[in-house]
Chain A
């Protein structure tokens, strides 16, 4: 696997290359699409947990490189693991960024750090409230009820909630996590718009 960092002309993703990559994931187009999303999610989380800047961009960069290599004739047996290998190279590259990108990162990083605490906190709260109430009523109620802190009774409340919804506890946990992810994505999008 070659994850060399020498600058090259940017490769453009084509529909044929993407189709070829999906076919390597699974012969069935629908399953292949689901696997592609799963791999992309795993890449985003990998870069996030490795504390790399711009996890989504790095995930897309990783996938582009994998798609290009498959288009150029490589035939990895385990595509997700192959993508992880490329991701490690991409991650190491992100640590050795040129000065310009460092400056951009510092500016981007300051978006999360408060320039003026009141402004950022206010924007964050406003985005949170807006996004919370954009959720469908049932989702909002589920997430608010799920995360109530009633100390020792918390697990009992979650069991009661699961029973009321007719879900196993692990399915309820997954559903709450998905709603929370959706809320987080909405808040991040809102904060980006607010910053521009």
Chain B
């Protein structure tokens, strides 16, 4: 069976052919350009295998005894060491190819990145799921059934305007949650009730630690507000400055302990160019 040409070339390069076979081999590559190319490539593979320590013991010994006993071959091996080292270093830092877009897309196909992305996505889903659940629970705590809706407040305003004796009041507590929330939200009615008008009733459930007061705003109002909370007798209870509003609403959170059962007056002022301008007053009663 004819010997594989690669093996034959390797034996030629290691000086393991008889003189007759050597001459026949040389006659072949001398007259055939492709054969010459094959022998040159076989030499390259032999040198690279030596540098990468892939030769068997016998071939390695013969390589060092025969092939390396010649200065130009030693230079060839030295070059191979540098080249293979540079090529392996390039493998660590992937080369920039002509197509940066192809390299960018290829980066997303790496198994490590795929698994990493999948795990990251799963963690994000779990995180946001838990966050949404917590926010839902807080929302339920913020908005008990007794809180009048903005629509109801407006209708109550019309009632109040039509009949000053009728004070708007929160909805009956029929749908109050059995369990008292830690934050109690309350929407104040716009307009100052004078004379015999009764204040809004803020019936605080037991165990509430904070009261979220929602103050309605007119369109075109100020960028910042000041809120001052006093008892109707004028005793200062709580205040905040430079508050930024939400759309059509300013929300402030007051510690429930600051509002024992009593009547209170909330003064809303707008801040403009350093000047403070009163915008509205809200009158409400806290009952416990």
B39 and A78 contact, CB distance less than 8 A? no
Q: Looking at the complex, which one of A46, A51, A149 makes contact with B87 (CB distance below 8 Å)? A: A149
Q: What is the CB-to-nearest-CB distance from A136 to chain B, in angstroms, rounded to a whole number? A: 12
Of residues 29 through 81 on chain B, the ones whose CB sits less than 8 Å from some CB of chain A are: 29-31, 33, 36-37, 39-41, 43-44, 48, 52, 69-76, 78-79
Whether A180 is near chain B, meaning CB under 8 Å from some CB there, is: yes
Measured between beta carbons, the chain B residues less than 8 angstroms from A149 are 52, 84, 87-88, 91
Whether B98 is near chain A, meaning CB under 8 Å from some CB there, is: yes
Q: Are A128 and B79 CB-contacts (below 8 A) given A148-B91, A177-B44?
A: yes
Whether B257 is near chain A, meaning CB under 8 Å from some CB there, is: no
CA of A173 to CA of B6 in the docked complex: distance in angstroms? 15
Q: Looking at the complex, which one of B37, B69, B76, B88 makes contact with A184 (CB distance below 8 Å)? A: B76
B12 and A49 contact, CB distance less than 8 A? yes
A46 and B30 contact, CB distance less than 8 A? yes
Of residues 127 through 143 on chain A, the ones whose CB sits less than 8 Å from some CB of chain B are: 128-129, 132, 138, 141, 143
Per the CB 8 Å criterion, the residue count for chain B at the interface is 41
Encode A177-196 as 1/0 by CB contact (under 8 A) with B.
10011011001100100000
What are 20 residue pairs bridging A and B, where the CB atoms are less than 8 Å apart in the complex? A45-B29, A45-B39, A46-B30, A80-B30, A81-B27, A109-B71, A112-B72, A124-B78, A124-B82, A128-B82, A141-B95, A144-B86, A144-B87, A144-B90, A145-B90, A145-B95, A147-B48, A173-B41, A180-B83, A183-B83
Q: Spell out B's residues near A (CB within 8 Å).
A: 12-13, 23, 26-27, 29-31, 33, 36-37, 39-41, 43-44, 48, 52, 69-76, 78-79, 82-84, 86-88, 90-91, 95-98, 102
